[in-house]
Structure 1
Amino acid sequence: MAVSRESGATGYNGYIMLLVVLAALILPQLIGIAMGGKGYFVIGVIAGLILALFLSIGFFMIQPNQAAVITMFGEYRGTVRKEGLQWVWPWMLKNKISVRAHNIHSDKVKINDLRGNPIEIACNVVWRVSDTAQAVFDVDDYKEFVNIQIEAGLRTVGARHPYDDMSDEDETTLRGSAEVVANELRVELNERLLVAGIVVDEAGLTHLAYAPEIAGAMLRRQQADAVIAARKKVVIGAVGMVEDALDKLSRDGIVELDDERRAAMVSNLMIVLCGDREAQPVVNAGTLYQ
């Protein structure tokens, strides 16, 4: 398929052309008067009106961040981007197109992540038309094309990564690597929309959740992971505290412990520090070895 490329069109200042239209309206009447006779004047009035109406067809207004694609007999003649009142030959067709930034919030899409878990995902995309010729001539409906490609790109990027990291490996996940995923989505969409002359400036996920059929099971898994992580942190901290306590007792000569008593003390301290409930103290009224 031949790729269209935007080029500048030859447009004329509309305000100057207003004076030309006014002259076209008055001049035939003046000629009719100069030729004498009422019939010539009427002919001049009719000719002036027809000529003025014909030239008026060429007027069009360009707003800021707007463009007009000009065609003549089915051939692309260029794009007018200059703001204000413009004029082209009446037999040329004008197709106005916005080059402003557009914002799209996609619908929720159900896909399978890298591990095959069903998830719901949605995104927000900011895009704009960079090449008006491609947008008008290379795709049928560029706005509908954008909507379809956003969904396709979202499915592609969502399937590349797992929803969450279930292992100890530091990998990119949809939930934990939002910036990386957003950049991948923007690059993916720019590649897909290049054929339509569309540029994506921003893209990011706005909704991410497990599908309802597995949401309960995944919530329990996350709770279990949180409990395991908390327990692991408590145990590591308790081991450090016990080690410091034994070293302090030995270094300061407060008490001498043999291996058996040392092991008993470690066991008691670990139970106290790692237990879910408050420990009940037992007072030893005898000697240490009774």
Structure 2
Amino acid sequence: MTMTTPDIPDSPTPESPARESPVRESPAPGSPFPEAGRSVGGRSARVIRNAATTEIPVHLLFRDGPDPVPVRLSPVVVGRRQGTGEQPRLGRPVAERPRPLPPVDPELVERPARVLPGGAGVLAGACGAAGCVATSWWAGVLPPLVAGALGLPEHPGAAGLGPAQWAAYTAAGALGLFGFGGLARGRTGRAWVLGLFGRYRGTVRRTGLLWVNPLLLRRRVDVRLRHWRSEPMQAADHGGVALRVVVLVVWRVRDTARATLGIEDHETYVRECVEAALLRVPVEAPGAVRGSPDTVQDALTRLVAADATPVGIEVFAVRPVRVEYAPEVAAAMHRRRIAALDAQHRASVLTSVVDSVEDTVTRLTTRGLVELDDYERKVLVKDLTVAFCAGRGRRGRRPADPGAGKRNRFRYWYGHV
């Protein structure tokens, strides 16, 4: 059955008032939508128009909300055609690049400091002391005992302490203080970081007796190869189970200027770098089968070395030496591990029993000792399985007669056969 719809005449009827057709051959001058009046496929675009507003395409009223802002991916906006209501097309998202490390201050680069041999300081101090003695003899205030010990006669024209004598005392005392006050002893594996009024003046790595300007501030740094064993730190395995890991870090200070002046405390910085690396690298749980024992160590060493290199610290190895479950999950994981071991033991026992039953039945049939049909074979397999399982269950017990169990077992088998 076909239903027909009567044609609706284009002319207005008394029931329907006359409406102005929205079809326009050309857009109004100054319209912000030049494509609104154009016809598409022989039909004109539908618009809303009144006397006070301009023409607005109908589909612009039903646009979707703004696109959600992505969290980690930066979309590339291709663009849209003006006046069509087309949503902006998103190109292929580009992953955010890792942030680079902050630049290193070019002044914080280790360089050798200017120092003198220790003999120069001893000589200067001796000259200052000799100048003080000579000034005292000149002023006539040198004690007779000291003068006799030094073999100096009494000065004939001693005039006492005057401005000239005080000036000589000052110069000789300053020379002696600078000479003896700048003496330092350099040790193997230790270095001095020198600074003057907050400015880096160099590093001393020399050993032996040295003379360093006494006005410089000295900071001793240990540059030997060092081993640091951490306290239990937080970590996680591949399944997200909380762990406690103790690591052994092998490191040393390579650039004393950056390690001392670039950060507040380089030992604390190394510890924090290790903690951050443990939160990023999954550690193998206790008792897990490890594919490669050096995988976790290489990953931890690479991450810690990348964070410690800009501050002048060289990291050679970060080795997990002890891994255990966190206290809050230790009991549950212990029960889980025991259950897994029990299931593995049961599976191995069942496999060995099945192999033994199969071997026994095969030997009995191939040697022609018995002839069994399907039903008898099933009964024999069942009885042998029960017997083997019962024998393995009593294996841990010590029977009174060692051969009694075996004789009874064979009697049971051949009685059923």
Q: CA deviation at 1:52?
A: 0.9
* Contact kept? 1:70, 1:95, Cα under 8 Å: yes
Q: Which residue of 1 aligns with 2:358?
A: 243
Q: How does 1:77-92 map to 2 (within 5 A)?
A: 77-92=201-216
CA contact (8 A) 2:235 2:283 kept: no
The corresponding residue for 1:63 is 187
TM-score by length of 2: 0.57
Equivalent in 25, 49, 57 of residue 129 of structure 2 = 25
Quick check: 263-272 or 113-122, which moved more? 113-122
Name the amino acid aligned to 1:242. V
How does 1:89-238 map onto structure 2 within 5 Å?
89-157=213-281, 160-161=282-283, 163=285, 179-238=294-353
Counterpart for residue 104 of structure 2? 2
Cα separation, 1, equivalents of 2:413 and 2:132: 128
Q: Is the Cα contact below 8 Å between 2:244 and 2:326 reproduced in 1?
A: yes
RCO greater where, 1 or 2, for CA within 8 Å and sep 6 or more? 1
Based on CA coordinates, which of the two structures has the bigger radius of gyration? 2
Gaps in structure 2 of 5+ consecutive residues: 1-102, 140-154, 395-404
What is the count of residue pairs matched by the alignment?
Answer: 280
Q: Quick one: distance in 1 between partners of 2:367 and 2:260?
A: 86
TM-score (norm 1): 0.79
2:117 equivalent in structure 1: 13
* CA offsets 1:115-162 (integer angstroms, 9 cap, x no match): 2323333323233211101101211222222232222222222xx346
Identity %: 28
- Decide whether the 8 Å contact of 1:70 with 1:93 is kept in 2: yes
For residues 29 and 42 of structure 1, do their structure 2 counterparts lie closer, same or farther at Cα, with a shift above 3 Å needed?
A: farther
- Tell me, yes or no, if structure 1 residue 257 matches structure 2 residue 372: yes
Q: Retained in 1: the 8 A contact 2:125–2:180?
A: yes
103 and 136 in structure 1: CA distance in 2 versus 1, 3 angstrom threshold: same
Alpha-carbon distance between aligned partners in 1 of 2:257 and 2:412, rounded to the nearest angstrom: 92
How many angstroms apart in 1 are the aligned matches of 2:114 and 2:412? 103
Classify 1:89/1:120 alpha carbon distance in 2 versus 1 (closer, same or farther; 3 Å): closer
| Aligned partner letter, 1:141 | D
More helix per residue: 1
* Residue among 361, 379, 385 paired with 1:270: 385
Distance 1:213 1:34, change over 3 A: closer
Task: Call closer, same or farther: CA 1:111–1:286 in 2, change over 3 Å.
Answer: closer
Cα distance between partner residues in 2 of 1:258 and 1:194: 78
Contact 1:114 1:161 in 2 (8 A): yes
2-side partners of 1:13 and 1:199: how far apart? 30
Deviates more, 1:36-45 or 1:183-192: 36-45
Q: 2:124·2:175 contact (CA, 8 Å) conserved in 1?
A: no
Deviations 1:193-240 (A, max 9, x none): 222212233433344332333322222211111011111112222222
Matching residue of 1:53:
177
Superposed CA deviations along residues 88-114 of structure 1, whole A, max 9, x for unmatched, are 233333221111344433333344443
The verdict on how the C-alpha distance between 1:282 and 1:31 changes in structure 2, with shifts beyond 3 A counting, is closer
Q: 1:12 to 1:286 in 2, by over 3 A?
A: closer
Unaligned runs of 5+ in 1: none
Residues 146-201 of structure 1, C-alpha deviations (whole Å, 9 max, x = no match): 232222222222xx3463688xxx766xxxx6543233222222222222212233
The amino acid that maps onto 1:20 is A
